[in-house]
Amino acid sequence: MDPSDFRRHGHALVEWIADYLEGSERYPVLPRVAPGDVRRALPDAAPEHGESFDAIFADFERVIVPALTHWNHPGFFGYFAITASAPGVLADFLSAALNQQAMLWRTSPAATELEETSLAWLRQLLGLPDSFEGVIYDTASISSLHALAAARQMTVPGVRDAGLAGRDVGAVRVYCSEHAHSSIDKAVILLGLGHRSLRHIPVDDNFRMRTDALRDAIAEDTASGVRPLAVVATIGTTSTTSVDPVREVAEICRRDSIWLHVDAAYAGVAAALPEQRPHFAGWEQADSIVVNPHKWLFTPFDLSAFYCRRMDVVRQAFALTPDYLQTAEGARGVRNLMDTGIQLGRRFRSLKLWMVLRDFGTDGVRAVLSEHIRLARLFARWIDDDPDFERVAPVPFSVVCFRARPHTFAGTSKELDAFNARLLDAINATGDVFLSHTRLNQRFTLRLAVGHLRTTEQHVGRAWELLKQHTARLTSATTV
Ligand code: PLP
């Protein structure tokens, strides 16, 4: 592509993106395609001769766009709703053009130092002490993997050189609640600790880790010679956004010198709001914390912020510099990002965090988060006030867990589960909204997660209207 074509297509693309960001509602949130449709619409092999960008873009619009799930749609209420905001999109455009590969300070002084600066800004916004050093990974799964790798480095002597296999290192244990994210399971599997090394601690009625059960589990394991390796506490669990009692968990960890990792992947940014701070009490005592700006800080996927008070241990676990990567400034102690993780090459992710934080300002960030929380509480009130619905969990942040329970419904609890599953399919089929589900106390539960920048009361109202409409329709269909 020559420079003049680049300019022409680039301008057209910016127009297209601007229209999209402004008007993503013209698409159904969930695409109306069947498995295999996209693959069948595309040739089996790459073209032998280069094609024009006009032709490529026409196929993008014809084949790709209709098969997109629109995470950037204000009616997206599934999982955790997210936003690629305009400054973040522009930053990623620039990042692709600059193609920075920030393995060493030398290979991108700007990306290396901007990562430090933008993570320090975020840390201040969240009220964390500057004893936490930050590094950016792609996802929370990888951040938590590094946290547990550091815990393993601390707990299993010689693990870096001798590994785990073929020697008797004794059993170790990682603890998290029954509601912790499955990325913790994957981390213990990948670290060679074995899935059985993870002990899921029961939760109380509000889905928070029970610290009495944690204490008992640690005592029982220690008495039988199993060494506690880490506790993972979650602020904002995946299903209900419940908050583990981190301060108490931190006390237990301090007493027994156990690594404490806090998974605040979704909810962490809410610490920017003074009124939300009580949920975060004690997290400053953690050894490591993960917060995902790509979840609730309007930053395009992917960007996970990993904070650690023992980054020296992360370096002990991962730093390894082959001759070709040695530099004079590295020898003088300048920070090389490749030392704090498994990855060598890394993208210029900090650019989007920096641009988002500057574009919104801390007051702008707080305003959006507050509004999302207000909308979730409003929706929760509608649920609470309606005899055909019930709320299934508290709403500490911007997610509501609920289900339909029509007052005339006389079926079994299994039939009520099936009713809610049909209700979910029906409202998602409208294309106006997308909600996802979870299972709480064995009951099929619907979730409404507010998190998109352009989501307003009107969108939440539309979700509520559809829920009521389809509940009434399905109820009369069931009765008939
Ligand atoms: N931790 C929590 C609490 C989550 O809810 C999720 C995903 O939703 C993750 C970790 C994994 O996030 P990622 O996709 O960034 O790995």
What mean pLDDT do residues 183-208 have? 97
pLDDT in tens, 29-68: 999 999 999 999 999 999 999 999 999 999 999 999 999 9
In terms of residues, how long is the chain?
480
Dihedral pair phi/psi, residue 453, rounded to 5°? -55, -35
Distance 82 CA to ligand 1 centre (A): 12
Ligand 1 pocket: which of 145, 183, 237, 242 to mutate (most atoms within 8 A of CB):
183
Burial class (CB in 10 A: 0-12, 13-18, 19+), 306: buried
pLDDT band for position 479 (50/70/90)?
A: low
Q: Which helix (H) or strand (E) holds 201?
A: strand 198-201
* Mean per-residue pLDDT over the chain, rounded: 97
Kindly state the percentage of the chain with pLDDT values over 70: 100
Residue-wise pLDDT for 354-376, tens only, equals 999 999 999 999 999 999 999 99
Q: Is 266 in the pocket of ligand 1 (CB under 6 A)?
A: yes
Phi (first) and psi of residue 146, to 5 degrees: -65, -35
* Distance of alpha carbon 228 from alpha carbon 156, whole angstroms: 11
Is the pTM value of this prediction over 0.75? Answer: yes
Residue range 202-250, pLDDT digits in tens: 999 999 999 999 999 999 999 999 999 999 999 999 999 999 999 999 9
> Exposed, middle or buried, 248 (CB in 10 Å: 0-12/13-18/19+)?
middle
Nearest-atom number in ligand 1 for the CA of 144 is 10
The Å distance, Cα 448 to ligand 1 centre, comes to 17
Q: Check if 177 has its Cβ closer than 6 Å to any atom of ligand 1.
A: no
* CA-wise closest residue to 296 among 326, 321, 276, 316: 276
